[in-house]
Structure 1
Amino acid sequence: MQRPAAPGSLCVVPAGSGQGPPLYVCYCAGPEGQGLGAEPGAAGAFHLRVTDALELWSASFTPETLEKHKAQHGLDEAEDYSSWFRVACDQHAVSLTLKDDSNAHLTISREAKTLTFDLFKVPSPEAAPQLQALMLGLAEQVCRLERQLAALKDMTPSSRKKPQPAKQQLFLPDPDSRRGAPGPVIRKWMPGESIINPGFKSKKPASGVNFDDT
């Protein structure tokens, strides 16, 4: 079994002007490489496809018809439709209208220019392998992205716990717990020592008040 093509540009759009279901997957396979569900040996061709996972609509171009389509829309031959589609997907500038059961109309806008494509329903026998390639390609892409995400997580250093700030002490410590701890020495006052200048003796001993002099 052929290895599924790696997913390229795609977007999910509603049909018509509605914002809800049904939704359709729009994707392309361009001339710059094998895109989603591109056929082997299809280099140089360009394919636009729309699917609801049950049915498939497609617009396929050979290099000759692609050049003609560009000329009809006033584009240079060197313009790349794959880049157009990728930018339009990023800017949500892709719109889809289902004309009937077998035809669809796709519009891709970029800046002031608009490209229009008529898509036709692909018969079920031909659509089945293309839808299978799309599903397997998307599954492979999801698995690869999950591996890359796991590798990035392993490379990220684990966050360290920040030290908790010390809680404010609301109560005085137990006096017994302060015994033996160094603290200020309270000097005892000695008799005859100056009260104003501790450490110096008073020149004249203090005497009481003589009431006889009054």
Structure 2
Amino acid sequence: MDQNNSESKSVLCTLLDKNDQSKYVFFTQKRSAGDINIGFTNGEDVWKTHLSEEILSQLFKKFALKSTEDYTFKLKCACKAGRAFVKLQEESAMLHLGAEPTDLSLSLSKLTDSEGRTEVKDLLFKMADSLQQLESQGSSSSLSPVKSTQKKSSEYEPRTQHKGPILAVRKRLPGDSLINPGTKRKKPATGVAFDDGDDE
């Protein structure tokens, strides 16, 4: 798995409900004790659950996973692949991450309005930090002359194929022939001048 340090601590992605095409922001928050919080929000309401280390170890056995990172990666893949769907209830929600009954399902509690606002605020700043980090990585790579030259030549310039030897083109001088370069252009004929003095 290609995961950086920030992604191993938390996951943030879009969840598109396969049933009604509703959009949610899905998130996980890894805690230091080895347990994680999992939740999602539609921007107004937030649903969240806590998975202890004991519950996670049971899930690892059930799905043949080795670590919390493997588990969160599985959740993220299910969300991004469009297999997830949500069943909202009055004070809770069920998150299903697959079509089969054996697939992962989570029960999440709805947060109060004040808790939900705090959670959305934290997610907003987390997204802004991620974007800023991506921009700084992009600007530092563009400062490298080798990388920027390679990008320009491979991505933006058309590929040209040369067939045969490359001939140097000599600049045409004024008066040179267009058909036979290197030879002077002939002046057009002006006619023949007859001497009428002999007839007298």
Normalised-by-shorter TM-score class: 0.5 to 0.7
Matches of 1:27 and 1:93 in 2, distance apart? 16
Please identify the structure whose Cα radius of gyration is greater: 1
Q: RMSD in angstroms over aligned alpha carbons?
A: 4.0
Identity of aligned residues (%): 18
Deviation of 1:57 after TM superposition, in Å, equals 0.4
Normalised TM-score (structure 1): 0.56
Are 2:17 and 2:82, in contact at CA under 8 Å, matched by a contact in 1? Answer: no
Q: How many residues align?
A: 156
1:57 to 43, 47, 50: 47
Matches of 1:150 and 1:136 in 2, distance apart? 21
Give the equivalent residue in structure 2 for 1:182.
none
Matches of 2:109 and 2:95 in 1, distance apart? 11
* Higher alpha-carbon deviation: 149-158 or 133-142: 149-158
**1:25-104 aligned within 5 A:** 25-30=25-30, 34=31, 43-67=33-57, 70=59, 74-75=62-63, 80=68, 81-89=71-79, 92=81, 94-104=83-93
Structure 2 stretches lacking a partner, 5+ long:
1-5, 161-167, 187-200
Give the equivalent residue in structure 1 for 2:105.
116
Are 1:105 and 1:116, in contact at CA under 8 Å, matched by a contact in 2? Answer: yes
Give the equivalent residue in structure 1 for 2:184.
175
SS of equivalent to 1:139: helix
Normalised TM-score (structure 2): 0.60
Deviation of 1:56 after TM superposition, in Å, equals 0.3
Structure 1 stretches lacking a partner, 5+ long:
1-5, 35-41, 178-214
Are 1:28 and 1:46, in contact at CA under 8 Å, matched by a contact in 2? Answer: yes
Deviation of 1:131 after TM superposition, in Å, equals 1.6
Taking structure 1 as reference, are residues 74 and 144 closer, same or farther at Cα in structure 2, changes over 3 Å only?
closer
Structure scoring higher RCO (CA < 8 A, sep ≥ 6) equals: 1
Q: Which amino acid aligns with 2:51?
A: F
Q: Does 1:13 align with 2:15?
A: yes
